[in-house]
Structure 1
Amino acid sequence: MPVTWAQSSSSSDAAAFLAALPSCALPCLVTAIGNSNCSATDTACQCADTQLNEEVALCVGASCTLKESLTTKNLTETNCHAPIRDKSRDYSITAVTLGSVAGLFLILRVVHKFFVLKSALGMDDWFVIVVIISGIPSTVMSVHGLAANGLGKDIWTVPFDQITKFVMYFYIMEILYFAQVAILKLSILFFYLRIFPAQGIRRLLWGTVALNSVFGLAFVFVAIFQCSPIQFYWERWDLEHEGTCYSINAMAWANAGMSIMIDIWMLALPIWQIKSLKLNWKKKVGVGMMFSVGTFVTVVSILRLQSLVHFANSLNPTWDQLDIANWSTVEINVGIICACMPSLRLILVKLFPRVMGTTHDRTARSQYYYGQNSKVRRRSRSFGQMRIASRVSSDGVGKVQTPGIVYSKSYAVEYGDNDEASLVPMKDLDLEAKGGPTVRATSDDIVQGKAWADR
């Protein structure tokens, strides 16, 4: 920890500074000044001399306690007029903003399902509600626990009792984070189970549910009991308490790595299913928007993993752990937004039907064929949503110049607003998996068959 010597505006300030220094630091300062080119009264030179500062830092670290070292650092930084770093307000704004947006998305999801669709909440809804419920105290602790007790500041500027509170709140937030990540994944997995009917994909999804549940429970348990006694987690920073802890860095890396692998697997499963479907471009945009947000969550997890490099070994944790706290907040709240994307799409379809509506081919086809000396006849039949009409014409009445089947198409817009499962027509996949006929038989084939039947 680098230490700088004081730059005082008067001899009285210098005397006050020397009087405030811990007794263990004063000999280190005298020795370092004697080995430098600075005089005892040239405080500007002493503040600018990097080698002098490093020598004092090594000596203070070896001769003083951690609290005495922090006191020395604070006094010298203050007297050398070093800039005071403070990003606690930025972090608070990020936490409150993202938490509010995620909460708004969930409210829209629940209100739309209850009052518009008039349907019961599914397992995917309940799991994301649990994440929000746990996210409310997380947001409160982010502002009044972490930021209020030093997050985003240099540790030597934070009072000792606040450092202890900061580490304690960080411990609680770590446990909540592990639980929220696992529960959020369960919400998305149960959504997949609702829209994917094929047995093969459902077995993979249930296996992923089991793996994710074990993964979440294991890390929550380890996080709670990573130190013995438990309070040693937030007491050990001052090096004055006794206890043992697991490797916190190893646990954080293992959790992040496992979470990223499950994320990638969960992105691959729906893509594998959807790629075989022929979707209108508007529906592809809706599906792509949901899964692109899911990709962003995975990217955020990777960025958070990078910020864990100095997680447990930092000498300035209140400052160095700001990135971890920021990325964790972004990851959870963007994950909630991602889980609510299907419901948001349904709301947008109702508000902007021409832009967000999906188009289905409801075709009306007419067939014409003729034979020698035949009478004019017209038949109209209904097949599902398609209406088939055929006509035989003789000379002079509706004569058709081109032999064979002639058809015309008309299109109508249908809005898939029954529930989120209408995002993609997954029933086709179920029929194909069983080897049976699918509902995607082309209307050309149907029309041709009816025409021959009428003949």
Structure 2
Amino acid sequence: MIVTPEGPGLTFLIVISLLLVVATIAIILRIWARLEINAFGADDWLMITGWVFFTLCCIADYFSISYGVGAHVERLTEHQMQQAFKWFLIAGVAYVAATAPVKASICVLIMRISTNRIHHWILYGVIFASTAGSIIRICAFLGRCHPVEAAWDPSKGKCGSPEIMTHVAYFFGALCIATDWICAVIPVFVVWNIRLTWKAKVYVGIMLALGVLASIATIIRMRYLLAYQSPHDRVYGLTDIAIWSEVECCIGIVAGSLATMRPLLRYLRFLGIATQSSRSAESKLPHKLQTLRRPRRTNPSSALQNSYHVMVEAIGDRRGGADDIESDGGSQKHILPERRLEIVKGTQIQVTVDAKNEVDDMEVNPIR
């Protein structure tokens, strides 16, 4: 029998629904942006893997809510409580499994735009620590009870002390906070040394550093971990832990994806959303084509017409594809290609004289 969610259960249902929608939109836009510039890489596959586990986590949360997570124990039957614990445990395993690839994706993204070996070694350490921490916590989840079914049905076997879950959760939370801050600080140094406009540097740096928000969610979650040890009304207090766990994971997915979406900004111009300041800023970029013109006078009675224009155009080979220019917020080394510039000046002169002197109009052809 399905339990109608109320209070914390209803809040939990609404929050995870919103988080799943936001994370899914972020992944779709990320895939679109990467395909636009033909730069789909390992970081994208890792983020998609993290999103898959996050989706499984939310699905398990839906089942746990339907069986009574967030409801007081007096509203539930023994079977409902067992199923609620079962699906909550499955959701917890999926959440932990999602954190490792999400963190690894952000690290690989930073490594793709960094050439500093020290940064690479630090990021490899973050990937290793995140993966090891996830494995340890999953083993603690599944190994506390023998067999595993005893975690939600004590009649099936024996379980260790609930303090094991609390201690492992604190360890995993501290590890997440440390790795989140490392992934937020390193991009500042990486972007500082990349040949980008300062606005592009600010955009990429802020997007990558949004992972700091995930650490805030982790800190908030840690204050609710004592619910694991609560002997009474346990299913009622588990929602706070789950909500902040899912918030943390969703922030990681969104923050890691936003930094790759800059190529999609050009579509804002097609929708008429681009502001005048953004257009003027783009016209100042050194990799854009620009044309300088002096208006031509068309009055035939003028004694002398001297009109000219200077056109700056890019020639020569490029190191990237046709859309590399749109990827300056993406994760590519040599984000802006080097180009040679050539100035072409064309001058046209028309001389008008008396009828006594039959002088044809004279034109000076453009000289390169």
Q: 1:426 to 1:420 in 2, by over 3 A?
A: closer
Residues 311-390 of structure 1: pairs in structure 2 closer than 5 A: 311-352=228-269, 355=278, 360-361=285-286
CA offset at residue 97 of structure 1?
1.6
Aligned length: 296
Is 1:177 the counterpart of 2:102 in the alignment? no
- Does the 8 A contact of 1:307 with 1:324 survive in 2? yes
Secondary structure of the residue aligned to 1:309 is helix
Distance in structure 2 (CA, Å) of the matches to 1:269 and 1:175? 29
Give the counterpart of 1:138 among 57, 60, 66.
57
Deviations 1:142-193 (A, max 9, x none): 12x1111112211121121110000011111111111111111011111111
Name the amino acid aligned to 2:61: S
Secondary structure of the residue aligned to 1:360 is coil
- Matched residue, 1:122: 41
Q: 1:288 to 1:421 in 2, by over 3 A?
A: closer
Is 1:91 the counterpart of 2:12 in the alignment? yes
CA offset at residue 138 of structure 1?
2.0
- Does the 8 A contact of 1:149 with 1:163 survive in 2? yes
Q: 1:85 to 1:104 in 2, by over 3 A?
A: closer
CA offset at residue 425 of structure 1?
6.5
Q: 1:351 to 1:146 in 2, by over 3 A?
A: same
CA offset at residue 205 of structure 1?
2.0
- Does the 8 A contact of 2:60 with 2:87 survive in 1? yes
Give the counterpart of 1:109 among 15, 30, 34.
30
Give the counterpart of 2:123 among 205, 208, 214.
205
Distance in structure 1 (CA, Å) of the matches to 2:73 and 2:114? 51
- Does the 8 A contact of 1:164 with 1:234 survive in 2? yes
Deviations 1:189-241 (A, max 9, x none): 111111112223222222332332222223223322222221111123xxx56
CA offset at residue 280 of structure 1?
4.0
Give the counterpart of 2:86 among 151, 168, 181.
168
Give the counterpart of 2:327 among 380, 399, 418.
418
CA offset at residue 426 of structure 1?
7.8
Q: 1:323 to 1:314 in 2, by over 3 A?
A: farther
Distance in structure 1 (CA, Å) of the matches to 2:28 and 2:334? 26
Q: 1:426 to 1:265 in 2, by over 3 A?
A: farther
- Does the 8 A contact of 1:109 with 1:340 survive in 2? yes
- Matched residue, 1:232: 150
- Matched residue, 1:262: 179
Distance in structure 1 (CA, Å) of the matches to 2:196 and 2:326? 16
- Matched residue, 1:218: 136
CA offset at residue 361 of structure 1?
4.2
- Does the 8 A contact of 2:57 with 2:92 survive in 1? no
- Does the 8 A contact of 1:194 with 1:421 survive in 2? no
- Matched residue, 1:409: none
- Matched residue, 2:68: 150
Distance in structure 2 (CA, Å) of the matches to 1:214 and 1:326? 24
Is 1:250 the counterpart of 2:167 in the alignment? yes
What are the ranges of 5 or more consecutive residues in structure 1 without an aligned counterpart?
1-83, 365-381, 386-413, 428-438, 440-455
Distance in structure 2 (CA, Å) of the matches to 1:426 and 1:217? 36
Stretch deviating more after TM superposition (212-221 or 349-358)? 349-358
CA offset at residue 343 of structure 1?
2.5
- Does the 8 A contact of 2:184 with 2:212 survive in 1? yes
Distance in structure 2 (CA, Å) of the matches to 1:418 and 1:272? 19
CA-atom RMSD in angstroms? 3.3
Larger RCO (CA within 8 A; separation ≥ 6) = 2
- Does the 8 A contact of 1:193 with 1:205 survive in 2? yes
What are the ranges of 5 or more consecutive residues in structure 2 without an aligned counterpart?
291-311, 316-322, 339-368
Stretch deviating more after TM superposition (211-220 or 261-270)? 211-220
Distance in structure 2 (CA, Å) of the matches to 1:426 and 1:245? 53
Q: 1:199 to 1:289 in 2, by over 3 A?
A: closer
Secondary structure of the residue aligned to 1:421 is coil
Distance in structure 2 (CA, Å) of the matches to 1:242 and 1:130? 34
CA offset at residue 108 of structure 1?
1.6
Deviations 1:225-276 (A, max 9, x none): 222221111123xxx5641325111111111111111111222222233345
